Amino acid sequence: MSDQTITPGATPDSQRVDADPYGATDAGAPLEGAVFNASGGDWDDVAEEAAALGEERIVVNMGPQHPSTHGVLRLILEIDGESVTEARAGIGYLHTGIEKNMEYRTWVQGVTFCTRMDYLTPMFQEAAYCLGIEKLLGVTDQIPERASIIRVLMMELTRISSHLVATATGGMEMGATTVMTVGFRERERILAVIENITGLRMNNAYVRPGGVAQDLPPGAIDRIRDMVPAVRAGLGELEALLNENPVLKGRMVDVGYLDLTGCIALGVTGPVLRSTGLPHDLRKVAPYCGYETYDFEVMTRDTCDAYGRLRIRLDECYESLSIIEQAVDRLQNTSGPVMIDDKKIAWPAQLAISSDGMGNSLDHIRHIMGTSMEALIHHFKLVTEGFRVPAGQVYQAVESPKGELGVHLVSDGGTRPYRAHFRDPSFNNLQATAAMCEGGQLADVIVAVASIDPVMGGVDR
């Protein structure tokens, strides 16, 4: 019990508006319900500790609305002069509830959700998710070869696009505006091809369980062949601007250092891991979509720093262009469907758009409705209710531009996932922030975070 004495008929001080700093209503009027004051959590704790120790240390927030934190990432930095003595990453400012939402949608509808997580690498989330569904269905070997080739093509286009954003924004954050303009110019070439094939620049929902949404449109292969040499030349321009630039090397060499032991301890993958010299790439270690049949090298460096990660990303863009050329050659020599033959699973592919760009063409509708009443009913149930996936669970991983992207799917035998959980590489890699930043300069924090290349859409899913 409180020792406070309350006169009958009087309003307790804790409930009076004159105790409210904002004065929401007339003074003396009782407030509705309880009043709570929110404080800064970690911020207050760190600041009070610094004050209690009597040391001249400053605790600052970098973000969550800072142009150098790659989205709404909050960095809590304790600094002594220009040196960072403690760094912590605060996440959770971009929660979308995507994983929970997927539990209330059919298996196919889940593609539209997961593609929005890491918005720079949508094809990889889609591919990992669909490969996992196909494992649960036991139809991995039934996926048409042409569909697998198209998946590889789209993933490698997306890999280059993601690496170009990492390079371009990293350059901008260090003051190299030309790197930004050249990087995004080349990315536009990639996105134009992706839009031509899927209809969208991002959040494509193009990879579907059983195959892909539709085949390449007429002229797409020629367009890709024209794009590849142009992007290769653009990468050469970026290398001329970056690779041996003394100012850039001064900012990046030995900055954001994290060795192999640190990467293994923290579960860090992707270019950050390969910058330690370990050639770990799931396309080689645990191939999927026929990657074992493509000729490419795993790019590594032994510098363990931000500069090595930059060079790895540029090198990987060249390797991806090589894979794209191989995939295009195969597509020219491979005909056939792009969706599985099993009509209990096959989502309608080869859709024909009407002349106004909205919905299916009348010819396509007549084809669906003219087959048989049973086929029309099945089509309706497949789209509205979805197919059933046998009970079980599976883990499927792919090599995204940022590292190992895994999906853990659990089915209870119904038409919706019981659970869909993603291991997004940005989430794991961000654990390295403190190890990379503590002991360095405040300006080096920006370089270290840029070398991790986190996307908060994948972290706060």
Per-residue pLDDT of the chain (461 residues; tens, 9 = 90+): 444 433 444 444 444 444 444 444 454 555 555 655 545 556 667 666 666 766 667 888 887 776 666 678 888 888 888 888 888 888 888 888 898 999 999 998 899 998 988 889 999 999 999 999 999 999 888 899 999 999 999 999 999 999 999 999 888 888 888 889 999 999 999 999 999 888 888 888 889 998 888 888 888 899 999 999 999 999 999 999 888 888 888 888 888 899 999 999 999 999 999 999 999 999 999 999 999 999 999 999 999 889 999 999 999 999 999 999 999 999 988 888 888 888 888 876 555 555 555 555 666 667 666 666 777 777 778 888 888 899 999 999 999 999 999 999 999 998 899 999 999 999 999 999 888 888 888 888 888 988 888 888 888 88
d(CA 197, CA 195): 5
CA atoms within 13 A on the CB side of 95: 7
Place of tokens 């900012």: 251
d(CA 223, CA 285): 32
d(CA 129, CA 115): 9
The pLDDT score that the predictor gives to residue 130 is: 93
- Before 64, cis peptide (omega within 30)? yes
The pLDDT score that the predictor gives to residue 118 is: 87
403-411, strands of its sheet edge to edge: 392-400, 403-411, 419-423
The pLDDT score that the predictor gives to residue 73 is: 85
Does the pTM exceed 0.95?
Answer: no
The pLDDT score that the predictor gives to residue 6 is: 39
d(CA 280, CA 294): 17
Query: DSSP alpha helices (H): ranges in 69-144?
Result: 98-102, 110-114, 122-137
The pLDDT score that the predictor gives to residue 200 is: 86
The pLDDT score that the predictor gives to residue 367 is: 67
The pLDDT score that the predictor gives to residue 453 is: 86
**CA–centroid distance for 313 within its chain:** 16
